[in-house]
Amino acid sequence: MRMLDNILLWNVMAALILLGQAKPNLKHRSQSSSGLTTDCVGNLMRLSLDKALAVGNHLEVEAINGTQHILITPSLAAQCGYSMESDPWGNTRIYTSLLGCYVNNKEDSYDVGLRLKMYSDSQSDVISHDVMQTCSYPRWASREILCDRNYMEVSNHMATPNAKGQAQNVKDSSKLDTIQDDSEALGIWKVTFNTPQPVTMMLKEVEQAGYSAMATSTRLVMRSPYNTAETYYEDVAGVPMEVLKVSAYYKAKHGLSVVNLVATCPTGGVLFTNEVISWHVPRRVTPLADSKFKILELYMGINGQRLDKSQMSARGHTLYSTDFHIVIDIQVGSPDGYYKSHAPDYQYHVTYTVEPMLELLWRSNAQDTRYKVLYPITTPLMPRPLHIQNNTVPETRVFSMFLGTFLHDVQLKNITFSIGVLTIKECSARDFIIQEHLFSNGTKAFSLLVPFSDEVVLKHNPQRLVTTYFLQLIFGFIILPEETPFAHPVELQASLQDIVLPIITGTCDQNMFYIHVKYGSQGRNFQAMVGSQVLTPEVAEEYHFQENGTHFSLILPYSAKDTVFELLTSTAVRARVDLLLFATINNWVLADYFLSCNFPLTTTVCHPNGTMTALAVKVESVPNLVPSQLTLQDKSCKPVFSDLRVAYFSFSVNSCGTTRRFMDHYMVYENEITLAYNKGVAYKSPIDPEYRQTISCYYMINATLSVAFSSTHRSFNPTAEIGLGQLMVHMRLSQDSSYRHFYQAEDYPVAEYLRQPLYFEVELMESTDPQLELILENCWATLHKNRTSLPSWDIIVDSCENRDDSYKTIFYPVVSDARVVYPSHIKRFSMKMFTFTKDEEVVNDEIYVHCDALICDTNSQDGSCRGQCMHPTGLGGDKHQGTKGLRRERGSMDATHQRQISTGPIVQNTQSNLLK
């Protein structure tokens, strides 16, 4: 397990550190050692490389051995006593054992030389640093055991021939082994690995297997990578330990000797809580010490450096021993380690990594053993639930949120909204505000502001006047430097009572209902019902539906099928129209409106010849009434006409059960309209009331008329006095050439495209004299409402079109129909939409149209009523003069016969620089 951890460690470091072949043909240049520090930490030399120096580069490490430079690969590092530790951001520490390969040893003075090569991303240049450090370590114990990250090392003081327990002087070589070494060199020549099945190797085989066996002037050294074939595991006080046991045969000046070397290193013993890491090491390492041993020194450290009690206390670390263990407690989050972000299954987690050191000196059987362990510890993945703080104040109509906290190695890359994935730059372009907040403890968080009005915000109406706004998003992060992606979904919602309901208004005239609906905040997002009928396109067309984006209007006759009659009198009927607006999704009533008006209606007519006519209508209070079933007093007298809403009776006063009575100077005829029932049974119903309508006619009797006659001669013919009255003329703009639908006052200004026809109708109002005729004498257009303002353009001149106009005015015939009773009272014409220009630029994009109308008697013999354009004068209007043009002076007439009318403004819908 320990070996696997070290393999993983070296693999992680490989992202920044290349330990492969040297790059050929590269230029070398030296650089100052800023960012490099070296120090001696007991039996190790430590080199620290700051991330600022290594960032963006690939690193190679070479050992300097005189004039040689040996590339340190991972396998060579474990064999020769080199180790390396690097965090994900490039902070690197390189440890070298003072008993390692390529270290120059002179009487406990050790010279260590390393060359660091840093390659840029382009691989075209290399920066090198040569580091030399001399360390002194005079306090060697009889036995030194070092447990580093990737190897374990044991060294024993060189035995003398008389030293007991250290070495055996072997004179009979047959007792050693049948394999003999023919070399005359001094030092180790053979090693036996004491595994369950002993394995003996010659020195060359030992080195080929990845081990290191060497002898200095005073010590024998054996070094092994973790998890090799010749090591084994042993449980000591519940802690798994990896054990290396060898017998080393070496040649000394005094002859052949053998010494037993043992190294054992912990591969476990760590307990975790959310706050504390507890590292347990056996108090008595049984492969190394028997029951008679005494601990002389006990230290803890961080990253190979001892800490004193004050430093331990300041960092929150503790070191203590129990009957079976030595325990180091380290606070999770201590500045001696570092946090790292992870995203397993795209969920945010963190780990904490720290590298404690334990150093012991004990005495057993008069032999001192120094035991030193450097043990990197990384906690298991710890879930880090992200906190979402919704700071939205609905009245501001902006979503405001806070998401955190993250470690500094997390970077926000994008956000997924309902419309898709947006980068941070694209979010800023939509006026979203994204901020990164840094905290003193090294963590950070992100905040986001999104307005309710943006299309990424979804809307729903849980109540009639309330809108709930939804913001569904996914934050996309990466973890540096690996660029590991992960995501976090967030859903925000806010409710606001911000719905403005539609407003319905209405008016009536003598025949029509006029309904106006102004849209609310949700526009035309509703369904309408007129009476009991849905406002379909067919119904809308029947009721002259018009819409302009902010409102719509309807025009209904009071007798329309979707109105109801509330009350009938002898002179009027009260009718009502109901309009209901409701939401299409949840059927909420948005507006409920009714308009009730009285309309003139004569229900009973008494004719001089003794005939009576009567009109009965179906009223709302009798919903089940069938008009065809109504009768007079005589049940055989039925309506001469009926439909679903009315029944019409015509009968003589001496028939149909009509009664007669006298009252003062009047003779009164009366009858009654009722429902007919079988066998004369009275109508009784808990639902419908009784229907009765009494009709009466009054005839005057006993009236005396006196007639006077005078034969006095008159010298003059009688004449009638002149009575004065007002005739009203009205000009309207039609929506099309059918002259059925006209623009209302609220529709102005009316927008039309250049060259599009404008349809005008001028009508003599409230006159029933068929002998009168309306003639348009002159019509012209101006820029302003004032009919005498300049410039102006002639449209009709002397009752005819302006012949100087390339787009001539067109007159349309008027015929009788349901609306037009007297065609002579109406004139219709069209002209093309134009604009006024000056110096080839549009002066204004709207015009006003004015007319002088003449009312004349068709029976007149003076020629004044010659008809529309019956006798053209041939005079043309002035050419269009721009802002300098003048309208011709028009002849004046008697104000009794002439009317002045105007309409506008009419606005050009598309800009154009063309003249009319």
- Once rounded to an integer, what is the mean pLDDT over residues 451-456? 95
CB atoms within 10 A of CB 84: 22
Among candidate residues 248, 746, 304, the one with its CA nearest the CA of residue 505: 746
Q: What span, in angstroms and rounded, lies between the C-alpha atoms of 173 and 258?
A: 11
CATH topology of domain 728-860+897-908: Immunoglobulin-like (2.60.40)
The listed CATH number (1.20.1280, 1.10.3470, 1.20.120, 2.60.40) that belongs to domain 36-138: 2.60.40
**C-alpha atoms less than 13 angstroms from C-alpha of 66 in its C-beta half-sphere:** 2
Q: Which CATH class is domain 503-600?
A: mainly beta
Please check the confidence at residue 916 and state whether its pLDDT lies above 70: no
Alpha helices in 200-351 (DSSP H): 203-208, 309-315
Identify whether the C-beta of residue 94 lies closer than 8 Å to the C-beta of residue 60. Answer: no
Bridge partners, 387 (sequence order): 404
Q: pLDDT grade, residue 838 (50/70/90)? A: confident
pLDDT digits (tens, 9 = 90+) for 512-526: 999 999 999 888 889
Of 262-266, 495-499, 844-848, the poorest mean pLDDT is in 844-848
Please check the confidence at residue 1 and state whether its pLDDT lies above 70: no
CB atoms within 10 A of CB 8: 11
Identify whether the C-beta of residue 73 lies closer than 8 Å to the C-beta of residue 210. Answer: no
Q: pLDDT grade, residue 870 (50/70/90)? A: low
pLDDT digits (tens, 9 = 90+) for 286-322: 888 877 889 999 999 999 999 999 999 999 999 999 9
Spans of all domains in the chain: 36-138, 269-378, 386-496, 503-600, 604-678+690-700, 728-860+897-908
Q: pLDDT grade, residue 463 (50/70/90)? A: confident
Please check the confidence at residue 719 and state whether its pLDDT lies above 80: no
- Once rounded to an integer, what is the mean pLDDT over residues 599-623? 90
As given in the structure block, the two tokens for residue 329 are 């407690």
Run of H or E residues at 117: strand 109-119
Query: Which is more confident, 878 or 595?
Result: 595
DSSP 243-275: EEEEEEEEEETTEEEEEEEEEEEES--EEE-SS
Q: pLDDT grade, residue 509 (50/70/90)? A: very high
Please check the confidence at residue 167 and state whether its pLDDT lies above 60: no
pLDDT digits (tens, 9 = 90+) for 690-711: 788 999 998 887 655 555 554 5
Please check the confidence at residue 887 and state whether its pLDDT lies above 50: no
Cα pseudo-dihedral 294, 299, 303, 304, rounded to 10: -60
Query: Which is more confident, 720 or 607?
Result: 607
pLDDT digits (tens, 9 = 90+) for 789-817: 888 999 999 889 988 888 889 999 888 88
- AA identity, residue 646: V
Please check the confidence at residue 757 and state whether its pLDDT lies above 80: yes
Position 689 scores a pLDDT of 61
Q: What span, in angstroms and rounded, lies between the C-alpha atoms of 472 and 449?
A: 13
Position 20 scores a pLDDT of 30
Of 25-29, 53-57, 153-157, 533-537, the poorest mean pLDDT is in 25-29
Q: pLDDT grade, residue 561 (50/70/90)? A: very high
Position 57 scores a pLDDT of 67
Instruction: State residue 56 phi and psi, 5-degree precision.
Output: 80, 5
Quote the Cα angle for 624-627-629, to 5°. 90
**C-alpha atoms less than 13 angstroms from C-alpha of 664 in its C-beta half-sphere:** 2
Position 183 scores a pLDDT of 47
Question: In whole numbers, what is the pLDDT of the chain averaged over residues?
Answer: 84
> Given this chain, do its domains 503-600 and 728-860+897-908 carry the same CATH topology?
yes
Q: Which CATH class is domain 269-378?
A: mainly beta
As given in the structure block, the two tokens for residue 496 are 């606001």
Residues 6+ apart with CB under 8 A from 702: 665
Instruction: Give me the percent of the chain exceeding a pLDDT of 70.
Output: 84
Residues 6+ apart with CB under 8 A from 520: 499, 500, 501, 502, 503, 590
CATH topology of domain 386-496: Immunoglobulin-like (2.60.40)
pLDDT digits (tens, 9 = 90+) for 342-380: 999 889 999 999 999 999 999 988 899 999 999 999 999
- Once rounded to an integer, what is the mean pLDDT over residues 723-739? 79
Superfamily name and number for 604-678+690-700: Zona pellucida, ZP-N domain (2.60.40.3210)
Q: What span, in angstroms and rounded, lies between the C-alpha atoms of 8 and 86?
A: 12
Please check the confidence at residue 683 and state whether its pLDDT lies above 60: no
Position 260 scores a pLDDT of 93
Please check the confidence at residue 890 and state whether its pLDDT lies above 50: no
Please check the confidence at residue 751 and state whether its pLDDT lies above 50: yes
- Once rounded to an integer, what is the mean pLDDT over residues 734-749? 89
Strongest mean pLDDT among 22-26, 169-173, 500-504, 858-862: 500-504
Instruction: Give me the percent of the chain exceeding a pLDDT of 90.
Output: 56
- Once rounded to an integer, what is the mean pLDDT over residues 684-693? 64
Query: Which is more confident, 654 or 514?
Result: 514
